[in-house]
A and B are shown apart, each in its own frame.
Chain A
Amino acid sequence: MAEISTVTPSEHLEHPDYPMPRAAGCPFDPPPALLTLQEQKPLARVRIWDGTSPWLVTRYDHMRALLGDARLSADTTNPGYPYRNAAGRAGDQIRRTFLTMDDPEHARLRRMVTAPFAIKNVEALRWSVQTIVDGLIDRLLDGPRPVDLVEAFATPVPSLVICELLGVPYDDHDFFQRNTRVIVRRTSTPEEVVAAQNALVDYLDDLLGDKQARPGEDLLSTLAGQRVDAGQMTRREAAQMGVLLLSAGHETTANMIALGTVALLRHPDQLALLRDTDDPKVVAAAVEELLRYLTIAHSGRRRVALEDIEIDGEVIRAGDGVILAGEAANRDPRVFPDPDRLDVTRDARQHVAFGFGVHQCLGQPLARVELQVVYSTLYSRIRTLELAVDEDQLDYKHDGLVYGVYELPVTW
């Protein structure tokens, strides 16, 4: 039997384990080890679950430069791609969407679904987002207290909005939320992830069949009619794209609503600024700052180098995996003065919470409108909103693909 190599202390120092734990105390700050690397070794090698040692990028300017560099590939089929875990690898291998493709294939497929996310199309939805948010708040106010804000509000908002946009029956939300959760949970087994992924694709495939027969005004009908019927993509490919759109907005926006509420309740002065304004510019700026401060996509953007890339005195070799830690980049003091302070009045628009480069989040205009409507409505309509449990009882999603709280018991 081959000798099992052990990691010597010095190697260990050189290749710290990733991901790193957050500190006890402030639940919003990135793991301290990430920020230490940002100061001392901004282009570092780390050891991940499968024993490989990809690069870890923690500085803002490095992150933007690398995510904007076509020599870094998002294609998970390239050897050296740093998967999140075994379940992530299993999921990525059966899930072929533009998310894990490079240009020109990526651009061709992405452009098929960009229309509804153009600014003016999203602005046209603002009123209907407001109606959804107001309706859910009415129900909160009529219902029992305390209530779990995640289940009663934070999750239904993006779910109702994306269902309306895609033309998916909201009645099925239990089914797709359950399966989406399996995919983003770090503890899922590969079998569970594959099963959940297949269940979602089968569901969307059936729905696309219905839309081909009886088209409506929604995005899935457009995909079925203009793309599948025209032979530009198979129905299975359209179904995979549908799963991506249906699930992407769920966990992200829902966690921004819930975690944002926790952050604001812990910063009453900032909450007051948001609650007492009717200036959309103030609200929009606050949304950007909360996106920066919370950076809920906390498991690293993942890439693999196709060629040698020289950056800041280091050479990332072809075939090396690269993990880009947005939560650290968004706390880079070179770009954001006093970065650990939540300051809703600062100009945080250049944050990388949605990523950067050609893969930057497609749904970001919709996410912005949803968060603007929520943050400008929830706290002013329920002015005495407060936690119904002690702060230290909140259970944070340290193990998730996206950061947040599992439950948020609130009262007023």
Chain B
Amino acid sequence: MRVEVEQPKCVASGQCVLAAPDVFDQDDEGIVEMLTDRPGADRYEDVKEAAALCPAAAIRLVSE
């Protein structure tokens, strides 16, 4: 699974960082940044939660 983020959509709510801190980070303005776009299978649950919690629909999961 690959994770994509759309920074222009991000509203800096930080939900993704709380849900999966080893996958998502925020830049100086609070905008989402990826730490890895290919998280291990053990992170899938948290990443899915991050995508579900993101209020701005800025996180997309792409299965490959």
Please list the residues of chain A having a beta carbon within 8 angstroms of any beta carbon in chain B: 67-68, 107, 110-111, 114-115, 117-122, 349-350, 354-362, 364-365
Contact = CB atoms under 8 A, between A and B. Distances in A.
Q: Which of A119, A120, A121 has the most CB of B within 10 A?
A: A119
Interface in B39-64: 49, 52-53, 55-57
Interface residues of B, number: 22
B30 A115 contact: yes
Contacts, number: 65
B9 to A, nearest CB: 8
A67 B40 CA distance: 32
Nearest to B55: A360
A356 B14 contact: no
Given A119-B17, A349-B49, A364-B13, A358 B55 contact: yes
Interface string B24-36: 0011111100000
B31 A114 contact: yes
B53 A117 contact: no
Interface of B: 8-9, 11-14, 17-19, 21, 26-31, 49, 52-53, 55-57
A267 to B, nearest CB: 25
A115 B29 contact: yes
B55 A350 contact: no
A177 to B, nearest CB: 27
A119 B53 contact: no
Contacts of B17: 119
25 contacts: A68-B56, A68-B57, A107-B8, A110-B11, A111-B29, A111-B31, A114-B11, A114-B12, A114-B30, A118-B28, A119-B18, A119-B26, A121-B30, A122-B14, A349-B19, A349-B53, A358-B9, A358-B11, A358-B56, A359-B11, A360-B11, A362-B13, A364-B13, A364-B14, A365-B14
A110 B10 CA distance: 11
B55 A118 contact: no
